[in-house]
């Protein structure tokens, strides 16, 4: 190894150590502001958003979506209205007032659902997303119910306000109709 190469290597290792120390100092001093009232730095926002999307896309490659039927959409409606709408709003309905204070702010799925495949929505709803406020529903909901929710979310961009409002908000008396055996079990909420 020539001495120039040696110097370059020592320099690179030194720079790396310095970077690690600076990073550690930021963490230990609480240097990155956690206040949800403050915006992320543009680098922070880019890093979090890109990782969020790529992580979900990567995981969802192993998920095969079933055919989404209108019956599944109806079965997902009460789940969506009970567990998602306060954060993500509906068609012509805004999110709950307290959700306005979240960072990241939960996107309005009536529009944002276009950007995601059914398999990606299924994976995200089942597993949630760390450090975002997006909960995991897998620990409390069977896959069959999560597919109903994904079907409803995928249908939202094409729904009118009236159609959205017309979907059941409660697990009603007709819960055993449609959607295969969906909804036949006792209400979970
Ligand atoms: C407590 C609030 C909260 C609840 C309840 C919630 N979410 Fe989320 N969700 C979030 C937040 C916050 C994000 C944004 C994460 C990010 O961008 O880093 C998100 C992201 C998403 C996304 C990706 C949207 C995009 O374009 O980034 C989908 C799809 C989604 N949620 C579906 C659902 C569904 C379906 C439910 C109900 C089963 C649900 N969420 C319940 C907070 C919530």
In testing the pocket of ligand 1, which one of 87, 114, 116 has its CB within 8 Å of the most ligand atoms? 87
Per-residue confidence at 170, pLDDT binned at 50, 70, 90?
Answer: confident
Burial class of residue 183, CB neighbours in 10 A (0-12, 13-18, 19+): buried
pLDDT tens digits, one per residue of 117-143: 999 999 999 999 999 999 999 999 999
pLDDT tens digits, one per residue of 43-64: 999 999 999 999 999 999 999 9
Q: How far is the CA of 139 from the centre of ligand 1 (A)?
A: 16
Q: Residue 172 has what pLDDT?
A: 61
What pTM value is reported for the model?
0.86
* Position with higher pLDDT, 2 vs 69: 69
* Closest among 160, 156, 188 to 175, alpha carbons compared: 188
Q: Residue 187 has what pLDDT?
A: 43
CB within 8 A of 104, min separation 6: which ones?
A: 48, 49, 132, 133
Per-residue confidence at 149, pLDDT binned at 50, 70, 90?
Answer: very high
Written as six digits, the tokens of 127 are 């597993």
What is the C-alpha separation between 169 and 179, in angstroms, rounded? 16
Domains and CATH numbers, the chain: 70-166 (1.10.760.10)
pLDDT tens digits, one per residue of 19-43: 999 999 999 999 889 999 999 999 9
Q: CA 120, 126, 130 angle in degrees (round to 5)?
A: 90
What is the rounded radius of gyration, in angstroms, for the C-alpha atoms of the chain? Answer: 22
Cβ < 6 A, ligand 1 pocket:
52, 83-84, 87-88, 102, 104, 106-107, 109, 112, 115-116, 121, 124-125, 129, 132-135, 137, 149, 153
Q: What residue spans of 33-92 are helical by DSSP H?
A: 42-60, 70-83, 85-88
Written as six digits, the tokens of 128 are 């949630």
Helix (H, G, I), strand (E, B) or coil at 134: strand
């Amino acid at each position: 190894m020539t001495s120039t190469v040696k110097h370059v290597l020592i320099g690179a290792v030194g720079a790396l150590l310095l970077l690690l120390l600076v990073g550690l100092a930021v963490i230990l001093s609480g240097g990155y502001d956690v206040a949800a009232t403050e915006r992320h730095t543009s680098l922070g926002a880019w890093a979090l958003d890109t990782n969020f999307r790529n992580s979900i896309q990567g995981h969802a490659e192993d998920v095969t979506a079933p055919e989404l039927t209108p019956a599944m959409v109806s079965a997902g409606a009460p789940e969506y209205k009970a567990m998602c709408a306060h954060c993500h709003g509906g068609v012509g309905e805004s999110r709950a007032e307290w959700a306005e204070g979240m960072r990241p702010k939960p996107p309005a799925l009536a529009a944002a659902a276009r950007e995601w495949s059914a398999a990606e929505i299924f994976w995200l709803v089942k597993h949630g997303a760390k450090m975002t406020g997006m909960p995991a529903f897998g620990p409390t909901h069977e896959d069959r119910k999560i597919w109903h929710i994904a079907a409803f979310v995928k249908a939202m961009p094409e729904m009118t306000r009236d159609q959205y409002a017309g979907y059941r908000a409660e697990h009603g008396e007709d819960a055993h109709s449609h959607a295969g055996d969906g909804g036949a079990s006792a209400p979970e909420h």
